Amino acid sequence: MTAIDTGPVPLGPTQLRRLRRDYFSSPVSTLISVLCFGLLLSIGWVLFDWGVLRATFAAEARQPECQAAGGACWSVIANRWRLIFFGLYPYEEQWRSALACVAVIVTMVLSCIPVFWTGKRLTAVWALGFLTFYVLMKGGMLGLLLVREEQWGGLALTLFIFVATAIIGMPLAIAFALLRNSTLPWIAKTTGAVIDAVRSLPLISILFTFAIVLPFVLPDFVLQEKLYRVIAGSALFFAAYQAEIIRGGMQGVAKGQDEAAMSLGIPYRHRVARILLPQAFRNALPATINQFVITFMETSLVVIVGFFELLSSANAAFGTSDWTFAFVEVYVFVAFLYFIFVFGLSRYGAYLERRMATGQR
């Protein structure tokens, strides 16, 4: 047998070859790699130097000490974290606000576990979590001091608006989606017009309308509290978007499913609740998580209609004269808080997408 020449034998370990393929495959690629790493390292170094090496952490440090050190002044967080987290909530009662936040976060984490993914269990978990939050925050019962909604603030208010929006918005979204998919043309068309109108408006204008215009429009006894009006507006906005997502999920459900159920004589409400919606939600899960992410970020818009939520209390945290210089640190801190929630949620969404992609095959 003659030996067949198979070309040059690969030299060196595979690790090295992979490195070459990924970063140095051509001169241009080498240049790009060097530039990118240079940029990353220099930005990383500047941030590390500013945020850790030359930063001041001591709670008693003020502007002179911080500027002498030349880095970030985390003392502002050490001094003002209560304001950022709890807003104007009474000082002695702030443990309740903290506990309420924990309750909501636990609820959110629980509803991410597939064991709870049935309509009843999800409803139970969210109702329980929300009730715990509300009782803890509001008080006035079980021996807790009454704290009115105007005094709520900081992270707790942000979470409250988010959770309330989701709880009211989700059933509304399902109703919208079903109505828009109705076989009765007039119901489908009017619902479609309402959804499209809401979707084409900016959320700020809806919040503004609900906060400032609605008192003129409604009789005196409905929705007295501004907070609940704003939540209603935010829920309407959420529902309009979520309805389209659910409708997209419904379109992915094979028509035969509904026809088969109909031929078995299953009534409409069971057809929807047991056959259509579970499959539609499965199809729409990635988009739904994405919508939750966006909704969480958009709770910060209520700052415009004058609420003291996370962003607004952050603005107040550097609002006094001895801390005005430290705005970057406060914004970095708040951005980090939002980042944890939003990044966690979106990573979870990506995980779900992978998980479902394997299940589908």
Partner 1 sequence: MMTLLQHQKSRNALLQILYVGVLLALVVTAALTARHNLQAQGILSGWSFLWKSTGWDMTFSLLPTSSSDPYWWFLLMGVLNTLFLGIIGLAFATLVGGLVGLARVSENKAARLLGTIYLEIFRNIPLIVQVFFWYALANRLPSPRQAIEAGGALLSNRGIYLPGLNIAGWSVAAGFLALAIGSALLLWLSLARRFRRVAPALRRRRASTVALVTLGTLMVLFFLGHAPDSPLLTLPELKGLNIRGGYRIQPEIYALAFAIAIYGGAYIGEIVRGGFIAVGRGQTEAAKALGLSEWQSFTRIRLPLAVRAMLPILTNQYVWLIKATTLGIVVGFADFFMVVASAITHSGQTLELIGILMAGFLIINFSLAAVMNRINRAIALKGHQNRS
To partner 1, the closest distance from the beta carbon of 23 in angstroms equals 6
To partner 1, the closest distance from the beta carbon of 332 in angstroms equals 8
Sequential DSSP letters for 170-211: HHHHHHHHHHHT-SSHHHHHHHHHHHHHHHHS-HHHHHHIII
Q: Please name every residue paired with 56 in a beta bridge, in sequence order, or none if there are none.
A: 73
To partner 1, the closest distance from the beta carbon of 1 in angstroms equals 32
To partner 1, the closest distance from the beta carbon of 97 in angstroms equals 21
To partner 1, the closest distance from the beta carbon of 344 in angstroms equals 9
Residue whose CB is less far from partner 1, 136 or 159: 159
Residue whose CB is less far from partner 1, 136 or 329: 329
| Token pair for 293 | 């992410």
**Cβ pair 349, 289 in contact under 8 A:** yes
To partner 1, the closest distance from the beta carbon of 203 in angstroms equals 8
Residue whose CB is less far from partner 1, 101 or 211: 211
Residue whose CB is less far from partner 1, 102 or 197: 197
Q: Which of 215, 236, 235 is nearest to 226 (CA)?
A: 215
Q: Furthest-apart CA pair in the chain: how many Å?
A: 99
Residue whose CB is less far from partner 1, 86 or 237: 237
Q: What residue type is assigned to position 78 of the chain?
A: A
Residues of this chain that interact with partner 1 (CB under 8 A) are 22-23, 25, 29, 32-33, 36-37, 39-40, 184-187, 190, 194, 197, 200-205, 208-209, 212-213, 216-219, 297-298, 300-301, 303-304, 311, 315, 327-328, 331, 334-335, 338-339, 342-343, 346
Contacts of 231 (CB under 8 A, 6+ apart): 161, 164, 165, 168
Residue whose CB is less far from partner 1, 217 or 264: 217
Residue whose CB is less far from partner 1, 37 or 57: 37
Alpha carbon distance 235, 38 (integer Å)? 46
To partner 1, the closest distance from the beta carbon of 174 in angstroms equals 17
To partner 1, the closest distance from the beta carbon of 294 in angstroms equals 9
Residue whose CB is less far from partner 1, 280 or 305: 305
Alpha carbon distance 22, 33 (integer Å)? 9
**Cβ pair 333, 77 in contact under 8 A:** yes
User: What is the CB neighbour count within 10 angstroms for residue 348?
Assistant: 16
Which residue is listed with tokens 């028509």?
Answer: 255
**Cβ pair 47, 336 in contact under 8 A:** no
Residue whose CB is less far from partner 1, 46 or 212: 212
Q: Which of 264, 287, 289 is nearest to 274 (CA)?
A: 264
* C-alpha distance from residue 138 to each of 45, 156, 192, 228, 243 (Å): 46, 12, 38, 14, 31
To partner 1, the closest distance from the beta carbon of 170 in angstroms equals 21
Dihedral sign from CA coordinates of 259, 262, 264, 270: positive
Alpha carbon distance 287, 34 (integer Å)? 37
